[in-house]
Amino acid sequence: MSEDTRWLNDVVWDEQGLVPAIAQDAQTGEVLMFAWMNREALELTAVRREAVYWSRSRRKLWHKGEESGHTQRVHEIRMDCDGDVVLLKIEQVGGIACHTGRRSCFFQRHLDGGGWEDVEPVLKDPADIYVKK
Amino acid sequence: MSEDTRWLNDVVWDEQGLVPAIAQDAQTGEVLMFAWMNREALELTAVRREAVYWSRSRRKLWHKGEESGHTQRVHEIRMDCDGDVVLLKIEQVGGIACHTGRRSCFFQRHLDGGGWEDVEPVLKDPADIYVKK
């Protein structure tokens, strides 16, 4: 790739070669999801301006939205003080980041008495998001 | 502890018994920092309503602000769809979350041509934050 990629050397990759990535709505500030990136994922994210993660379970690059259409347009890439966490400011295409059909993955709220409650609506049935072709 | 702690069993702890935790300003939505929690840290966070993390480098509980005074008052604790990430909605006492004296740890912005630029001001000299007693 012709683009200068030395900036990727400033990232402190963990022992698996990964870095945590937080996706935040660029307009509202809402935290939409959390995933992991390897070096190639972060490079592709910067080049395409669309979020590409590393799926630890499937052990492969995961272009977010490749199945659902719910891609993430990247407005900004931030890195934290220690260089070991990345924050993406994004526009969530389709308005749904979560595989459950909710806007954000962080829909479970801790209750004072213990337990968790779901506090965000399902906007679309996952069966309609992940349609077998 | 008398509080029902079964809700902690719903968290999917990693192989080190940790979970990533994102701290977000409850008012502005700004992502302020990222750290890790073990079970005890999350329990203490819920009981005290102040963020307690697990320091992986020092291998001990870290009551955020214990040295700097920049504690984090916890308004809400959220968990993601997979149960393996926690999001705290907090009020940052002193307005400074980062050990560099900046409001947020995510002050480095990726430049289109490569490289990173600092985009947030240092609000207080770290030498004045971490005063030896």
At A31, list the tokens.
Answer: 């935290």
Mean of the per-residue pLDDT values for chain B? 95
Nearest by CB to B79, from A5, A33, A108: name it: A108
Domains along chain B with CATH numbers: 6-99 (3.10.20.810)
- For residue B133, pLDDT over 80 is answered with no
pLDDT digits (tens, 9 = 90+) for A38-85: 999 999 999 999 999 999 999 999 999 999 999 999 999 999 999 999
| Of residues A31, A76, A80, nearest to B87 (C-beta) | A31
**Alpha-carbon distances, residue A37 vs A13, A26, A52, A56 (angstroms):** 9, 19, 7, 9
Under a CB-based contact definition with an 8 Å cutoff, are residues B40 and B17 in contact? no
Pairing of strands B86-92, B108-110: unpaired
Percent share of chain B, pLDDT over 90: 89
Going A29 to A32 to A38 to A44, the CA torsion angle's sign is negative
Q: State the pLDDT at residue A130.
A: 83
Please write the tens of the pLDDT for every residue from B107-127.
Answer: 999 998 899 999 999 999 999
Which residues of chain A make contact with B108, given a CB cutoff of 8 A?
78-81, 83
Residue A25 in marked binding region: no
CA B86 – CA B77 distance, rounded (Å): 7
**DSSP letter assigned to residue A4:** -
Please name the residue that has the structure tokens 């909710």: A102
Q: Which of B10, B22, B102 to mutate to test the interface with A (most CBs of A within 10 A)?
A: B22
Taking the C-alpha atoms of residue A52 and residue A105, their distance in angstroms, rounded to an integer, is: 17
Do A74 and A52 contact (CB within 8 A), yes or no?
no
Structure tokens at B124: 């207080």
- To probe the interface with B, which of A53, A86, A87 has the most B CB atoms within 10 Å? A87
pLDDT in tens, B7-61: 999 999 999 999 999 999 999 999 999 999 999 999 999 999 999 999 999 999 9
The single residue listed with the structure tokens 């993955």 is: A105
CA distances to A2, B44, B52, B63 from B48, rounded to whole Å, are 51, 6, 9, 10
What residues of B are in contact with residue A6 (Cβ under 8 Å)? 114-115
Question: Is A84 annotated as ligand-binding?
Answer: yes
Phi-psi region of A131 (alpha: psi -120 to 50; beta: other; left: phi over 0): beta
**Model confidence at B131, in pLDDT bands (50, 70, 90)?**
confident
Choose among B115, B99, B117, B97: nearest CA to B107: B117
Residues of B in Cβ contact (< 8 Å) with A111: 7
What's the helix, strand, coil split of chain B in %, to 5?
A: 15, 35, 50
Do A110 and B10 make contact, defined as CB atoms within 8 angstroms? Answer: no
Q: Examine the pLDDT at A1 and tell me if it is beyond 70.
A: no
Task: Provide φ and ψ at A95, rounded to 5°.
Answer: 75, 10
pLDDT tens per residue, range B75-88: 999 999 999 999 99
CA nearest to A116, candidates B10, B85, B46, B40: B10
Q: Is the ipTM of this complex over 0.90?
A: yes
User: What are the tokens at A132?
Assistant: 């077998």
- Per DSSP, the three-state class of A42 is helix
Asked if residue B88 lies in contact with residue B45, where contact means CB atoms within 8 angstroms, the answer is yes
